[in-house]
Structure 1
Amino acid sequence: MTFPTDLKYTKDHEWIRVEGEEAVIGITDFAQRELGDIVFIDINTIGDEVPQNEVFGTVEAVKTVSDLFMPVTATVLAVNDKIDASPELVNQDPYGDGWLVRVKLSNAAEVAELLSAADYEAQVSA
């Protein structure tokens, strides 16, 4: 299992990569392994400002549906087009081609509240 150190993490298993005033968000390697084969991603919040820790979509696996929680308050700018046709990319490359949304940060200070790679690894290893 991988825990890239350039990312921040949530206790709900999302990751965020900050790129200036924008960020890319996805689910962690741990989360995709726990979910199993992902068959559908439903994100209908494009253009919406989603508060920190609120649901911005769902991920459907063969056996379950899980909510996706926004790591920081942000406006959803785009959904990864590739995952519509190939949701399995989230399983195959959760930190690369399997990203979920690009957002514009509303409050960059919230990023500091998130878990480091080491803290997240400790949480999921416990």
Structure 2
Amino acid sequence: MSVEAVLTSTRGLIIAPAGCGKTHLIAETLAVAQSKPYLVLTHTTAGVAALKQRLRRLSIPPQNYVVTTLDGWALRLTKFFPTLCPITSVPEQGKIFYPELRRVVFTLLKSGLVNDLIQASYSK
């Protein structure tokens, strides 16, 4: 996959084994400045740390991107929209909280109520 292919997509998902260039492709893409930052979601905090470290090393401007975990981004949405994202459990109840968080945020995203906000906040 090329940077051009990534930039012309409206959504993207990169799945490949270790060592296949995923991080390099993401970094090359994030180097292309846009009017709004790119949103990059990953599963683990280790993935976030590794990607941010690579981006710093390559001098990719931080205003070009938001890199966070899926759960971190979901949690942020629930804090912005507590009425639309009613969560009854607490983070200390991890085995209950995170599945509930994901379910509530997925429902919000499916509803389309925050589509304009997301499009106004991040580059395509």
With the length of structure 2 as denominator, give the TM-score of the two structures: 0.24
Which structure features the higher share of helix residues?
A: 2
Q: In terms of Rg, which structure is larger?
A: 2
Higher strand share: 1
Higher RCO by CA contacts (8 Å cutoff, separation 6 or greater): 1
